[in-house]
Structure 1
Amino acid sequence: MDLRGRIRARGKKVLGVGSALTDILVQTSDEILYGISDIKGGMTLVASEFLDGCLEKVPQDKEIVPGGAACNAIQGLARLGGDAVFMGKRGMDATGEAFESSLRISGVLPVLSTSATPSGRVLSIITPDAQRSMFTFLGASSELTPADLSEEFFSMAAVVFMEGYLFFNPELGLAVLEKARKAGAVTAMDLASFTVVEAAPELLHRVIPEYVDILIANEDEAKAYTGHSDPDKALEAMASEVGLAVLKLGSEGSRIRMGHESWVIDACAGQGVRDTTGAGDLWAAGFLHGLVEDWPMERCGNLASACGYEVCCVVGAQIPEAGWSRIASRFLSPGDSLSPSGS
């Protein structure tokens, strides 16, 4: 049975597994950023004390919202009306309670284990060029273990979606893939950051061809993984290892390849980009929603592109109601409806 047939046979539930994190968003200058780190873009793991020190160096107002790559995608999928579950670990604190509440409001079923360790936080610095640089204290989210992965929810899922960040803990990343395969679910993985690939290249080159059905990457991640800066060569290399490969190219749109078929998806055009936080995550939300709804691949890609674009028009990884309404008017049938949300 081909990949799309496997999804059809299992239904429409999507299980996301990832880090339960709260985003602290701030718009500031390159000067402030470089006063904290010489790394621009990507994600850097930091201690809680370092993060607190960073916050003292950033005088601008800050916005606090739920985050985490897989979580952002799963919340977006739920807002599109999808059947969505998120699995992770939070602290037993106000930050963790607010995180769980936000999932329920978005229409996501939270499956969260807890820890005495404080909940994870991410400082996302957005510079004038709309690029974001993330400094992450994983906290309780990093304590998710293979024992916390409830097989019940893997067995119900059509697609298990995981963020590449989980491979900062190789045992956990592999456990997610093994449980998904044992359950018979289709496995989708977003590489999430070029720093993920640089941290464990040999491991990823071993497990992706063996376990992953759908591989999603942006240009930097694809280059780090395949060694190719040319998009065509990078996509070809990715597609040689998995059933379906996606290469996101920002303002150049995206490219999809499955077997011998390929699709070029245009980027959405409109008002200026304010912040790229969550762009890839919401792209994945739209794409996975289209897949489980069994839409033609081009329609899946176009919905993904619209979701990725709408989140770039605001600060943070939450599309506002006006954005969701525009998406619904373009892509959802009259009988479909967006799930309610307090976002």
Structure 2
Amino acid sequence: MTEATLDIVAIGNAIVDVIAQADDAFIESEGLPKGSMRLIDESTAAILYSHMGPGREISGGSAANTVAGMAALGAKCGFIGQVADDQLGEVFAHDIRANGIAFNTPTRAGEPTTARCLILVTPDAQRTMNTFLGASQYLPASALDRDLIASAKILYLEGYLWDPEEPRVAMRAAIEVARAAGRAVAFTLSDAFCISRHRADFRALIDGGLIDILFANEGELLSLVETDDFDAAVATIAAKVPCLVVTRGAAGAIAVVDGASHSVPAEPIAQIVDTTGAGDLFAAGFMAGQVQGRSVDDCLVMGAVAAAEVISHYGARPEAKLDQLVRARLG
């Protein structure tokens, strides 16, 4: 096995987030389930965008947010995701490269346009997400940089991208490349709606021993196992993956690594502004700690610190210097 030159390569949706404040009345008037994530078509996106208040455009996407967080913590990162040859595609490519992340996936000509997520944040910091996947769902296996994948200690895959057929095939191919190179494979379940459609596939990956690190929140884990018993769900999945990480909101997070259970409380925060990206940044902190060779407990603290930072402001990318926050917390 050759020595890794990158810490992580992630594959996920290449999305530009458009974030706007909204009140409950607006959410209700648009017929949106508050706090939900739904997929929409381009025309629906255009109509909703015309109704929204002033917004901020910030590059997003779950796995892309995670590698941005890892890069902020000093990790060497790469990203693979599909954008179109348009203005939002240029925004996404600029933003991710500006973070020092290797990104060389060829742009896609023609329709559809680059993916966007219209995020409405209510005063209680809940976000209602409306996602047009656009070009991101057309990532072909032929666009994979196999050398880039093989060069990283960890391949990180985003469950959101499992829906469309092309990227699903691409991610299966990426797992084969990572396995052949002797690298670890991490997977985030992303959302309960993904699990409801792809539970059998996700369980097959886990049961087949193809996942080394699994990230989930409490609701996703319960959905995966189809139970209301949290402890039973943890026991079921922890027996099948070397590392299981489960976030529990204000209750903190747990990790079960090689059968040993660890936990961390949520970091104190003066005000929660926007919960977008909390899970993404928790994964960033945890994996950054892993590639640094830190203890599981330290990795959990790093995840909690990164998550707390991102929910203290709008947007799913860190604004404060995460490495300084971690040093202040752990030394």
Runs of 4+ in 1 over 6 A off after TM superposition: none
Aligned to 2:151: 156
SS across alignment from 1:115: coil
TM-score by length of 1: 0.89
Residue identity opposite 2:325 in structure 1? R
Residue identity opposite 1:139 in structure 2? G
Instruction: Judge conservation of contact 2:11–2:63 (CA < 8 Å) in 1.
Output: yes
Aligned to 2:136: 141
SS across alignment from 2:316: coil
Instruction: Judge conservation of contact 2:11–2:171 (CA < 8 Å) in 1.
Output: no
Aligned to 1:52: 46
- In the TM superposition, what is the alpha-carbon distance from 1:138 to its structure 2 partner? 1.1
Instruction: Judge conservation of contact 1:215–1:238 (CA < 8 Å) in 2.
Output: no
Q: Evaluate the alpha carbon distance shift between residue 92 and residue 11 of structure 1 in structure 2; reply closer, same or farther with a 3 A threshold.
A: closer
> Distance in 2 between the 1:207 and 1:42 partners?
26
Q: 1:24 aligns with which of 10, 18, 27?
A: 18
SS across alignment from 2:131: strand
- In the TM superposition, what is the alpha-carbon distance from 1:43 to its structure 2 partner? 2.4
> Distance in 2 between the 1:34 and 1:236 partners?
39
> Distance in 1 between the 2:176 and 2:27 partners?
39
> Structure 1 stretches of 5 or more lacking a match?
1-5, 334-343
> Distance in 1 between the 2:249 and 2:128 partners?
16
Q: 2:123 aligns with which of 114, 128, 150?
A: 128
Q: Evaluate the alpha carbon distance shift between residue 11 and residue 296 of structure 1 in structure 2; reply closer, same or farther with a 3 A threshold.
A: farther
Alignment of 1:255-274 (within 5 A): 255-274=254-273
Summarize deviations over 1:46-92 as a string: whole Å, max 9, x none. Answer: 1111111111222x221110000000000110111111001111111
Instruction: Judge conservation of contact 1:42–1:193 (CA < 8 Å) in 2.
Output: no
- In the TM superposition, what is the alpha-carbon distance from 1:10 to its structure 2 partner? 4.4
Instruction: Judge conservation of contact 2:42–2:132 (CA < 8 Å) in 1.
Output: yes
Alignment of 1:167-178 (within 5 A): 167-169=162-164, 170-178=168-176
SS across alignment from 1:110: coil
Q: How many residues align?
A: 325
Q: Evaluate the alpha carbon distance shift between residue 166 and residue 153 of structure 1 in structure 2; reply closer, same or farther with a 3 A threshold.
A: same
Residue identity opposite 1:202 in structure 2? A
Q: Evaluate the alpha carbon distance shift between residue 12 and residue 328 of structure 1 in structure 2; reply closer, same or farther with a 3 A threshold.
A: farther
Moved more, 300-309 or 26-35: 26-35
Q: Does 1:221 align with 2:215?
A: no
> Structure 2 stretches of 5 or more lacking a match?
none
Moved more, 98-107 or 28-37: 28-37
Aligned to 1:67: 60
> Distance in 1 between the 2:326 and 2:54 partners?
30
> Distance in 1 between the 2:35 and 2:267 partners?
22
Aligned to 1:341: none
Q: Does 1:249 align with 2:248?
A: yes
Residue identity opposite 1:134 in structure 2? M
